[in-house]
A and B are shown apart, each in its own frame.
Chain A
Amino acid sequence: MQRFVIRRLGALAVTLLFSSFVIYGAMYLAPGTPESFLVQGRTVSPEVLASIRAQYGLDDPFLLRYWHWLTGVLTGDLGESLTTRQDVASLLASRIPTTVWLTAYAALLIVVFGVVAGVVAGLRGGLLDTAVLLGSSVGFAVPTFFAALLLMSVFSVTLGWFPVFGAGSGFSDRILHLTLPAVALALPAAAVVARITRTAVVEERDTEHVSVALARGVPWRTVARRHIVRNAMLPVTTIVGVNIAALVAGATVVEHAFTLDGVGALLINAVQQKDFAVVQAVALVLVAVFGVVNLVIDVLYAVIDPRVQLGGESA
């Protein structure tokens, strides 16, 4: 197990290194240059432009700049924002809590509602099953941005139950502020998870070991819990993991819609302003989160399924 985790962390480091290069390169391929943003459309003399380029090292060869940036990142220096002149690391640190709260809340909603709805639909069948199938189709079809607007207009504007914007401070205030954003963010993923869970439960219900257990007189509740739901959790774990990892990226839309000061909103602004340092840092964080979540899922997988051998031969 330990060896497996260490090996996977090594692989993650390689992934991060590779994606850092791609991320760094992509910004230069995109149209527009940072110095043109810095001068903000004013006409400046070529000398001023040259001094700006020199100050930010924009005239150095690409690989050299990449190397400077990479060594900086490795020592914890993510650079300085072009627009606000703030340290990117502290900028990021100030934005992370909101995004963490938002995605954790949404992840909880996905697990609770998606998995529970799927299990109930798969075990009970009938009208409940139809309702869950229908609900998940709707949940999946509604675009997140539209869902956000709809939730806001119904629950914030019309009913006045929840605040329209802001992330709140303190636990209960945060929960209150983040409920609608989290619901909007979780909706499509919860729909997918519910559907996959239902299918997995239905498939597992029809396996021979389940009918053997029932034919031995093991009570239905025990069979459902120990044999059906537990086994069905294998595919569900994978799909929940992928969806939770994707939440961090999906948060950008929701943060924008609800004007939350999270990492996603930071990313959108930074892209619009060609704020290289910030975009690179945020993208790197997204990749890292994705990798870590997937690692956690793989470990969980081995916990659930004894046939999965972590770390190869000697695990």
Chain B
Amino acid sequence: MSVLELDDVRLAVPHPSGDRTLLRGVSLSVAPGEALGLVGESGSGKSMTLRTVLRTEPRGAHVAGRVLLDGRDVRGLGPAELRRVRAESLAMISQDPRAALNPLLRVSRFLVEGLCDARGDDERTATRRARDLLAQVGIADVDRCMNSYPHQLSGGMLQRVVIAAAVAGSPRLLLADEPTTALDVTTQSEVMAILDEQRRERGMSMIFVTHDLELASAVCDRIAVMYAGEIVEISTPERLHAAPRHPYTRLLLDSRPSLTARAPVLPVIPGRPVAAYEVGGGCAFAGRCPWSEPGCTDGEIPLVRDGDRAVRCAREEELAGELAHATGTEATA
């Protein structure tokens, strides 16, 4: 059974000019021990998807659909049960570790709090465990780190602390929201390696949100590409790179700078990203898609599953061969 299953999750937030849709029916599943990458442009709904799992969506948001964690719908939990699930089954790693820790409290308090106050462990055991964890995430001077205040540590150190806190309770599912974006490049890879190692050791599942397709490919077992509040393609990294099935994925791959070939101008996807609430009927990407046809803007386009991959494109079958070989820029030319 899946650790997590999202079934047609929709989310809208109140806005003076009527509710604004941010998620337009997200469905995905994460198997035990699996790492699922969630990639897409800013505002495509990646973080919001995570927040519906943790139930930390903005105040007043309307959420529909089911979020099953080990078969239990998280959306229907009462306050006490929700707190238990958050303490025991889920863990979040956010983008900015500096904002995640209370600036007035020591690191030790942050680590111990997640075990003591949230899970009910006793303080001595929790402190010992916190120290072990810090050592495991590669912190050399554990004493100094435990007694430090957040402002005394670097961003990389702090993110290690956050990772230690996240894996402390061996949760079922890690929710990592761009955990390395706020760090500098050399620290990024270290922190990423530590996160991956900790996760694998404990056999935890993970949803990894990023806009870095390469990073997601390196870390994740499967990748879901999001666009305008819905998933347009799910695939393994290898297949996604070799034969993307959705035009958006193809163009996303093309617009990465290559390490080997020097391109005079980096190809960009024409047009601008569309917000979920701006989408009318049909395919959300149709307006920017070089392969779009008049039929693309009619009706709802379903996410068609095919084994462990899925794609949401009206011309999926016709384009399969073309997308695997041609690049988007050639198609427009």
Q: Mark A194-226, 1 if CB is under 8 A from B, else 0.
A: 000000000000011101111111110010001
Known: A209-B102, A230-B104, A305-B104. A216 touches B91 (CB 8 A): yes
Contacts of A226 in B (CB 8 A): 102, 105, 113
Interface positions, chain A 246-264, Cβ under 8 Å from B, are none
Q: Mark B72-96, 1 if CB is under 8 A from A, else 0.
A: 0000000000011111101110101
Enumerate chain A residues within 8 angstroms of B90, measured Cβ to Cβ. 215
Set B87, B91, B103, B117: member contacting A307, Cβ < 8 A: B103
For A207, the closest partner residue in chain B by CB is B99
Contact check, A218 vs B113: say whether CB atoms are below 8 A apart. yes
Q: Is A179 an interface residue (CB 8 A)?
A: no
Pick the residue among A207, A214, A218 that contacts B56 (CB under 8 A): A214
* Minimum C-beta distance from B306 to chain A (A): 35
How far apart are A219's CB and chain B's nearest CB, in angstroms?
Answer: 6
Please name all residues of chain A whose beta carbon is closer than 8 Å to the beta carbon of B96 when the two chains form the complex. 208
Pick the contact of B87: A208, A211, A216, A231 (CB < 8 A). Answer: A216
B118 within 8 A of partner (CB) = yes
Select one of A212, A214, A231, A307 contacting B94, CB under 8 A. A212
Contact across chains for B88 and A212 when beta carbons are under 8 A apart:
no
Cβ of B149 within 8 Å of any chain A Cβ, yes or no, is yes
> Does A231 lie within 8 Å of B91, measured CB to CB?
no
Number of A-B residue pairs having CB atoms within 8 Å of each other in the complex: 73
Residues from chain B with a CB closer than 8 A to the CB of A211 are 56
A173-B5 Cα distance, complex, nearest whole Å: 70
User: Quick check: is A41 within 8 A (CB to CB) of the other chain?
Assistant: no
Contact A217 B83 (CB under 8 A): yes
Given A218-B117, A219-B117, A307-B149, A212 contacting B100 (CB threshold 8 A): yes
A38 to B1: give the CA distance in the assembly, Å. 99
Let me know if B151 and A307 touch, CB within 8 A: yes
User: In whole angstroms, what is the CA distance A130 to B119 when docked?
Assistant: 36
Interface membership of chain B positions 96-130, coded 1 if the CB is closer than 8 angstroms to chain A and 0 otherwise: 10011111111000000110011100000000000
- Please name the residue on chain A nearest to B114 by beta carbon: A216
Across the interface, A217 reaches (CB within 8 A) one of B87, B103, B149, namely B87
Residues of B close to A218: CB separation below 8 A: 87, 113-114, 117-118
Interface check A31, CB cutoff 8 A: no
**Most chain A C-beta atoms within 10 Å of own C-beta, residue among B88, B104, B165:** B104
CB-CB under 8 A from B67, the residues of chain A are none
The answer for the CA separation of A231 and B149 in the assembled complex, in Å, is: 14
Assembled-state Cα–Cα distance A305/B105 (Å): 9
> Does B54 touch A at the CB level, under 8 Å?
yes
Residue among A217, A219, A231 making CB contact with B102, cutoff 8 Å: A231
Complex contact B83–A208 (CB within 8 A):
no
Which of chain B's residues 129-183 have a Cβ closer than 8 Å to chain A? 149, 151, 165
Contact (Cβ within 8 A) B86 A213: no
Measured CB to CB, the closest approach of chain B to A122, in angstroms, equals: 15
Name the one of B54, B92, B100, B117 contacting A222, with C-beta atoms under 8 angstroms. Answer: B117
CA distance A214 to B87 in the complex (A): 9
| Binary A-proximity of B8-52 (CB < 8 A = 1, otherwise 0) | 000000000000000000000000000000000000000000000
* B-side contacts of A215, CB under 8 Å: 54, 56, 86, 90, 92
Top-8 shortest CB links A-B: A217-B87, A217-B86, A217-B118, A208-B99, A306-B149, A212-B100, A209-B102, A218-B117
